[in-house]
Amino acid sequence: MLTIYYHPNYGRQKKIFLTRKLRYSKFLIIFEYIFWKFNLALGDRFIYSGPRKLQNNLVKSFKNNRAVSFNNYKFPNSYIVQYDDYGKKIISKVLKKFPYSNIIVGPLYDQKGLSELSNELVKNKNIKLCIASNSVREYINDSISFNIPEEQIVVLPVGVIEEAKKIKKTRKDRKLKCLIYYKKRNKEELNLVIENLKNRKIDYKVFNYGTYNNRNLTKYAKEADFGIILDKIESQGIATLEIMSRGLPLIVCEYSSLEVNGKNYKSTSVPYWSEKCGIKINLNKNFDDDLKNFINSLDKFKPEDFINEELTFTVASERLINKFN
């Protein structure tokens, strides 16, 4: 028995009424509130950020599970997705109603919230910190004033699809298509990738983080022959995993180091990965050779198998339930 708490206000940007773009419109807030109130999953066309996608996928994962409720203080075991003003209020209410309940919090929090949450962990050993992958563990312990005990840290990635499948390409024109996922990387790196694709007469489409809706991303992933990931560090990398779940082999231009306050931390653009998914490279002037070799071996990659083994709604939801068991 488990109650999951979340609110779509997390990380929300300021909205306006008079705009043609839905992602900037206050009408999107109304849609989100109605769907949140009735524990319904939004359509992908209304999803524009990673945190919102994480929340939405949780709703999809447990939509038919009567042993799991949302936002209603029904069961003592509590999973609170975010630590913001909403999350703080929920912790207080849960502990007031169920003083000895087991609580997992995260992985949505900022630096200030993490420091405050760490104090909650000291006071109550029944509260645990959720991280999306092991790749952020070292950074989290270094960013607060003490090390969180291992037994109070749980790794819980969210599921990304019900079942991953390889999409057969049926178009008559066999000109290759490439999906480029671009997030916070140097513009010169993007230009280098595009230049090489053009030289090889490969069609491409760039999805710049924060400017597309999720439906368009997954739709093009079904049409493309391969993808290129130009991303900085990720705690889970939901967008990349959703691309992989459509059976799309990837070239990941790896970002393996994060500098914070003069200290370097080992990091990655793809915390969840196997050799089935594609190749990782250091993007440089030899990119064309990497691209050529990758294209010649496209058929050997099966990213959909990796997703089905590790990150379907069923696998991820069972992983969450087991943390409370």
User: Tens digit of pLDDT per residue, the chain (325 long)?
Assistant: 999 999 998 876 655 555 556 555 677 788 788 888 999 888 888 887 888 899 999 999 998 899 999 999 999 999 999 999 999 999 999 999 999 999 999 999 988 898 899 889 988 999 999 999 988 887 777 766 667 888 999 999 999 999 998 877 665 567 899 999 999 999 999 999 999 999 999 999 999 998 888 899 999 999 999 999 999 989 999 999 999 999 999 999 999 877 766 777 788 999 999 999 999 999 998 999 999 999 999 999 999 999 999 999 999 999 999 999 8
The pLDDT of residue 139 is 75
- Whole-prediction pTM: 0.89
Closest CA to 10 of 60, 71, 82: 82
CA–CA separation, 236 vs 136, rounded Å?
A: 9
List b or e across 29-50, with b for residues whose CB sees 16 or more CB atoms inside 10 angstroms: eeebeebbeeeebbebebbbbb
Could you give the C-alpha distances from 289 to 160, 197, 226, 252, 284, in angstroms and in order?
32, 12, 16, 14, 10
Residue 203: is it exposed, middle or buried by C-beta count within 10 angstroms (0-12/13-18/19+)?
Answer: middle
The pLDDT of residue 143 is 65
**Both tokens assigned to 17:** 């009424």
CA–CA separation, 46 vs 44, rounded Å?
A: 5
Cβ atoms of 304 and 244 closer than 8 Å: yes
Closest CA to 192 of 180, 183, 184: 180
Where along the chain do its domains lie? 2-156, 177-310
**Three-class secondary structure assignment of the chain:** CEEEECCCCCCCCCCECCCCCHHHEHHHHHHHHHHHHCCCCCCHHHCCCHHHHHHHHHHHHCCCCCCEEECCCCCCCEEEEECCHHHHHHHHHHHHHCCCCCEEEEEECCHHHHHHHHHHHHHCCCEEEEECCHHHHHHHHHHCCCCCCHHHEEECCCCCECCCCCCCCCCCCCCCEEEEEEECCCHHHHHHHHHHHHHCCCEEEEEECCCCCHHHHHHHHHHCCEEEEEECCCCCCHHHHHHHCCCCCEEEECCCEEEECCEEEECCCCCCCCCCCEEEECCCCCHHHHHHHHHCCHHHCCHHHHHHHHCEHHHHHHHHHHHHC
Sequence-distant (≥ 6) Cβ neighbours of residue 120 within 8 angstroms:
91, 105, 127
- Measured in whole angstroms, the distance separating CA 167 from the mean position of its chain's CA atoms is 22
Q: Domain spanning 177-310: which superfamily?
A: Response regulator (3.40.50.2300)
CA–CA separation, 252 vs 254, rounded Å?
A: 5
Residue 260, beta-bridge partner list: 263
CA–CA separation, 216 vs 94, rounded Å?
A: 39
The pLDDT of residue 35 is 86
The pLDDT of residue 23 is 56
